[in-house]
Structures are given as C-alpha cells and as structure tokens.
Structure 1
Amino acid sequence: MEAILSDPAGAVIGLDFDGTLSPIVPDPAKAVIHPKAPEVLADLGAHVLAVAIVTGRPAATALELGPGLADVPGLVVLGHYGFERWEGGRISAPPPPPGVPRAEAELPLLLDSLGLDGVAIEDKGRAVAVHTRRSPDPEGALAKLREPLAELAEKHDLVIEPGRMVLELRPPGMDKGHALSLFLAERAARSVMFAGDDLGDLAAFDAVRDSGLPGVTVCSGSAEVTALAERADIVVDGPEGVVALLAELATAFTRP
C-alpha cells in the first residue's frame, strides 16, 4: 500500500465485478454496480497507471450493469476471465468456442433429468453458467450438479469455474490470474492491488503474489466464501467496504 500511495502513476488497481463492485443478487441480470463506484473509480483513474475490471462477465455486460464505468479514465475491462477486452469503447476477442453453445443446448434436458427446481441457466456468450441461488435448496442443488456438469464440460472441451451458488462452463486456457499477469507486464506496472470476493479471484491473488511487485490483495468479505479472506491482506465488508477503501485511496492521492 505504501508503494501505491507513494507512486500512484505506477499502480494498477484490479477489481472483480460481481460481489466486489456490485452486490450479489438472486438474478444476475438484475445486478447493479454500487452507486458510488463509478465516481470513485474515476477519481482513482486520474492518478493511477490503470484501473482494470477482471470479470467472468462479458465486458459489455459489466459496462451495462455499471453506468458511468465507460467514463473512468483509462479503464480496461477484461471480460470472460481475460478472453475479451474492452478499452476506449472497443471490444476485442477471439471467436467464441463451439463447445459452449453445444453444452448449453444440453443443459435443459440435464437439469430436467436431475429434477432440480429453481435452477437458472445464464448464457454468457463465451461461457454458460448454472445458478442455484433461487433453488429451494441452493447448496444441495449445487452438490447434485457438480459431477454431471463436470462430465458435460469434459465432453465439450470446457472447464468448470465454481462460484457463489454457481457453476460455470467455460473454455480452458485463461483465468483471472493469467489475465492480470499479462496486463501487469503490458503496462510495466510498478505496484498492484486486486480486490475480489469469489473462488475465481484466488488466481488473481496468486498473480499479485507471484508478480514480484509490491502488491496488496483485498477480500470483499461474505459468509458464503471464506477462502479469500484467509488469503487476503485486507478484508472489507462487501462492495460497500471495497468502495469505501478505494475512496480513501483516491482521497489520499489528493492530499498535499
């Protein structure tokens, strides 16, 4: 943190979206960014090397759910765990993998065969997520789905990304840690902060540790996932705490 404060022009601030900048909600389509986050990130963006949102969401979806994010100076959104990139109003990405739509086509029949109610399928373009949060027994449904979804993923050359009441089928070869590492090298960063809340963010925590840079990891704490809190340098109370921490940082940059 001292390195970030003393040399903000060399700092990359990396952030997850859901559960970190946006509260977790039963329906992912109804998620919305913390109302103060865009302004706080804009303040940060005026001082640091880069602000990067690293998310499993499509980049365009994160921007839709975060009005004002597109105006953050120098913002980069690494969507689909880094397969996709939004910067300066443009999205770049490789062609979508064929295994995702094939797996998605098989999911309704699979869920029906397991007799699961309240389980939702989310089409994420380059990935497909199965949410159990609205099921009568979310944890039980998640446990029942793990093996069948792992078999389906293997069949279509995909991998499983576990999360908070969700299992996501996505292409292999990229994760938040790899995406963050590549971005740090690209920008020749001199320090790094990363804030996340879920299991997929552990790879980014590893990237901070392995970067060789002065770095700090922040957990957006919740009762659902404790693994990040055990690994984080700083634990705050959900998105409200993340935004408050970032606001303190932005204020510190402007002090004489």
Structure 2
Amino acid sequence: MKAILNDPAGAVIGLDFDGTLSPIVPDPAEAVIHPEAPEVLAALGDHVRAVAIVTGRPAATALELGPGLAGVPGLVVLGHYGFERWEGGRISAPPPPPGVPRAEAELPLLLDSLGLSEVSVEDKHRAVAVHTRRAPDPEGALAALREPLAKLAEKHGLVVEPGRMVLELRPPGMDKGQALSLFLAERAARSVMFVGDDLGDLAAFEAVRASGLPGVTVCSGSAEVTALAERADLVVDGPDGVVELLGELVAAFGRL
C-alpha cells in the first residue's frame, strides 16, 4: 500500500464487479453497483495510472449495471475474464466461441434429468452460467452439477469456472490473472492493487504476487467464500468495505 500512496500515478487499481463493487443478489440480472462506487472510482481515476474492472460479466453488462462507470477517467473494463475489452466507449473482442451456445442448448435437458428445474441459467454470450442460489438446497444442487457440467464443458471445448453458488462454462485460454498481467505490462505499472471476492479472483491475486511489483490484494469478504480471505493482504466487509477503502485512498491522495 505504501508504494501506491507514494506514487499514485504509477498505480493500477483492478477490481472485480459482482460481490466487490456490487452486492451479490439471487438474480444476477438484478445486480446493481454500490451507489457510491462510480463517484469514488472517478475520484480514484484522477490520481492513479488506471482503474480496471476485471469481470466474468460481459463488459457491456457491467456498464449497464453500473451507471456512471463510463465517466470514470481512464476506466478499462476487461469482460469475460479478459477476452473482451471496453475502453473509451468501444468494445473489442474475438468472435464468440461456438461451444458456448451448443452447451447452453443441452442444459435444459441436463437440468431436467437431474431434477434441478429451480436453478437458473444465465446467457453471458461468451459463456453460460448455472446459478443455484434460488434452489431449495443451493449447496446440494451445486454438488450435483459439478460432474455433469464438467463433462458437458469438456464435450464442447470449454472449462468450468466455479463461483459463489454458480458454475460457469467458458472458453479456455484466459483468466483474470492473465488479463491483469497483460494490463499491468501494457500500462507499465509501478504498483498494483486488486480487489475481489470469489474463487475466480484467486488468479488475479497470484498475478499481483507474480508481477514483481509492490502490490496489495484485497478481499471483499463474505461467509460464502473463505479461500480468498485466507490469501488476501487485507479483508474488508463486502462492497461497503470496498467503497470505504477506496474512499480512504482518495482522501490520502488528496493530502499528498
């Protein structure tokens, strides 16, 4: 943290979206960014080298769920774990992988065969997610899905990304760690902070440590996932704690 405070112009601040900037909700389509987050990120963007949101969501979805994010100075949104990029109002991405719609087409029959009609499927365009949060037994449904979804993913050349009451089928070849590493090199960062809440953020934590830069990892804490908190330099209390921490950074920069 000292390196970020001493040289904010060299710092890259990376953040997950769901569970970090936005509270987790039963229906992902109803997620909304913390009301104070856009303002504090905009203030942060005035001081640091770059602010990057690194999310499994499509970049456009993160922006829709985060009104005001498009006005954050220098903001980059790396969507779909880094396969997709939003910057300066434009999205760039490779063509969608054909395995995703094929796997999604098979999901209704698979879920029906497992008696899991109350789980929900989220079409993320370049990925498809199966959420169990609204099932009568969320943990049981998640356990029942792990092996069948692994087989379905393998059949269509995909990988399974586990998360908080969700299993996501997505293309291989990119994760949040790779996305963050590439971004740090691109921006010639001199220090880095990454804030996340879920298992998919572990790769970004490892990227911070592997970068060789002064860095800090922050966990947006929850009772659902403990693996991240165990590896974080700092644990805060959910999105409220994240916004409070970022606000403290902005205040500290203002005193320099």
- Structures share fold, TM-score greater than 0.5: yes
Corresponding residue for residue 67 of structure 2:
67
Instruction: Tell me the percent identity.
Output: 88
State the one-letter code of the partner of 1:95. P
Name the SS of the counterpart of 2:167 in structure 1: strand
Normalised TM-score (structure 2): 1.00
Which stretches in structure 1 are left out of the alignment for 5+ residues?
A: none
Corresponding residue for residue 191 of structure 1:
191
1:242 aligns with 2:237: no
Name the SS of the counterpart of 2:253 in structure 1: helix
Which stretches in structure 2 are left out of the alignment for 5+ residues?
A: none
Q: For 2:200 and 2:206, how far apart are their aligned partners in 1?
A: 11
The offset of 1:213, in angstroms, is 0.1
Could you give the per-residue CA deviations for residues 193-212 of structure 1, whole angstroms, max 9, x where no partner exists? 00000000000000000000
Q: For 2:250 and 2:86, how far apart are their aligned partners in 1?
A: 23
Name the SS of the counterpart of 1:70 in structure 2: helix
The offset of 1:117, in angstroms, is 3.2
Trace 1:129-208 onto structure 2 (pairs within 5 A).
Answer: 129-208=129-208
Q: For 1:118 and 1:108, how far apart are their aligned partners in 2?
A: 11
Q: For 1:63 and 1:108, how far apart are their aligned partners in 2?
A: 29
Name the SS of the counterpart of 2:213 in structure 1: coil
CA contact (8 A) 1:117 1:136 kept: no
The offset of 1:118, in angstroms, is 1.5
Could you give the per-residue CA deviations for residues 212-231 of structure 1, whole angstroms, max 9, x where no partner exists? 00000000000000000000
Normalised TM-score (structure 1): 1.00
Name the SS of the counterpart of 1:77 in structure 2: strand
Trace 1:13-52 onto structure 2 (pairs within 5 A).
Answer: 13-52=13-52
CA RMSD of aligned residues (A): 0.4
Q: For 1:191 and 1:118, how far apart are their aligned partners in 2?
A: 45
Name the SS of the counterpart of 1:217 in structure 2: strand
Name the SS of the counterpart of 1:74 in structure 2: coil
Runs (4+) of structure 1 moved beyond 2 Å?
A: none
